[in-house]
Amino acid sequence: QKIYNQLTDRKGAGRKSFTVLIDPDKVDAVKLEKLITLSVEAGVDYFFVGGSLVISNNLDECIQQIKASCNIPVLLFPGAPSQISKYADALLYLSLISGRNPELLIGQHVISAPFVKQSGLEIIPTGYMVIDGGAPTTVSYISNASPIPADKNEIAMCTAMAGEMLGMKLVYMDAGSGAKKAITEHMIERVSAHIEAPLIVGGGITDPEKAYRNCKAGADIIVVGNAIEKDAGLIKEMSAAVHSVPVLI
C-alpha cells in the first residue's frame, strides 16, 4: 500500500501531483533517457506506463530503464492484462465503470487474476471513466463502450460515486490520449466534490494553464502524455503549474 498511501497523504495535505504518461511504443532508450532526465529536473511525481494499444514488446525494458535511472515511482496503466510488468511499483487495476462492456468491467480481471496476484505488485483498484473528448480516441474505439458525454456532469458524478462505493480507491477521468477536447473544469468540480478518493485527470491536456485550472477544480493528479511526446520541454512547465496550485487545507 506504499504508493496508495502516498497518494492519499498527498491529497490530505492538498498537494497536487504531476504524472508523465509513457507509451512504450513511442520511446526508444535514448528518448526515454531524455524524458527521465527532464522529469527528474522538473520534479515529476509519477510515471504511468501503458496505453490502450501497446504493440511493441518492450514494457519490461522500458520500466527497468526508468527504475535504474531515477526514484520516480512507476505505475502501470494497462490497456490489457498483457501489459503487466513486475518491475513497476504499482498497478492501476482499472475497471471501465463509464462503459457497459462486461469484459472491461470484470471479464479480463477474472482471466488474469492469478497472474496479477503472483506479480507481487501493489494493486490499486481504480474506477476508470472515459469522457467524450470531441472525436473518437483509441480508448473509445478499443473499449467498445460509449464514453460519458462531455457535458453530462451528473452522469460522471454518479458514476464516480458508485465506483467509490463499490470499493475503487482511485477515480481516473480520461478524455483519451490526444483528445481534441480535455475534460471541463465543471465536470471535474462536480466529480471531485462528491468523492473522497484521489482524482486523476488526463486526456488532451496541452497547456500548463489547463493543468493548473484542473487542479483548482479538484483534480489531484494530472496526467499528460501526447503533448509531451510532441514537446518534451513542456514537462517543466506542466510540473511547475501543477505544483504551484495553492495548498488550501
Give the residues across from 96 on adjacent strands.
Answer: 128
Q: Does 173 bind ligand 1GP (CB under 6 A)?
A: no
Residue 35 has which C-alpha cell? 524524458
Helix axes of 208-217 and 234-243: crossing angle, nearest 10 degrees: 30
User: Which residues, 6 or more positions from 164, have their beta carbon under 8 angstroms from its beta carbon?
Assistant: 127, 171, 195, 196, 197
For residues 123 and 73, what is the distance between their CA atoms, to the nearest angstrom? 14
Question: Under rule CB under 6 A, how many of the chain's residues touch ligand 1GP?
Answer: 14
User: Is 21 or 76 the residue whose CB approaches ligand 1GP more closely?
Assistant: 21
User: Is 63 or 173 the residue whose CB approaches ligand 1GP more closely?
Assistant: 173
Stretch that binds ligand 1GP, among 97-105, 107-115, 225-233, 238-246 (CB under 6 A): 225-233
Stretch that binds ligand 1GP, among 57-65, 153-161, 188-196, 224-232 (CB under 6 A): 224-232
Residue choice 224, 234, 235, 245 for contact with ligand 1GP (CB under 6 A): 224
User: Is 117 or 218 the residue whose CB approaches ligand 1GP more closely?
Assistant: 218
For residues 189 and 125, what is the distance between their CA atoms, to the nearest angstrom? 22
Residue 57 has which C-alpha cell? 514488446
Stretch that binds ligand 1GP, among 115-123, 143-151, 155-163, 170-178 (CB under 6 A): 170-178
